[in-house]
Structure 1
């Protein structure tokens, strides 16, 4: 592999998850991101109470992301070979944690509506 491009990354993810699931995950991530932006514009501020609960839920999202990737790649922790594997695993955990926190914040905002922290 002499050239590394964005299309190469997409091809690798399509190979890991399958084309349909990968693009479904991209669409879901885009919808959650747009919902988050909508909530921020609608409320004109971040609720620290909702933000705290979202942060507390981050380990759940990170663990779920690692579990999902291990399930989809048909791998286990015994298959982790070197430092790059651990870095990728930490990246998956971090991405899952942040994504889940955003999802929790959005769901709270839609369920509870705009609240004041005072």
Structure 2
């Protein structure tokens, strides 16, 4: 696996998610980018990845998809902070509690995390 090529794809996905979901376009280099299999994480790392960053430290911008999801709490696709695009294939979570953060899980195997200040 060519890690640099994978990182470029993950970064493109993360940029699209923060732009669309949070209305925060970012073309700068992130401060943190991680791509690794979920199976290589310890239980503590997996729990932090799956459950961390769900608090609303900052309210989303009015009119953004994130604000719409906060208002419509009965949306089935949005559960426990993760937006499930296709079950067992692709899900992601965006947050703004400590800078911008996007977490992505591909095929319930590959865990990706991108953070900006």
Answer yes or no: same fold by TM over 0.5.
Answer: no
**TM-score, length-scaled by structure 1:** 0.33
Q: Relative contact order, CA 8 A, sep 6+: which one is greater? A: 1
Instruction: Report the structure, 1 or 2, having the larger strand content.
Output: 2
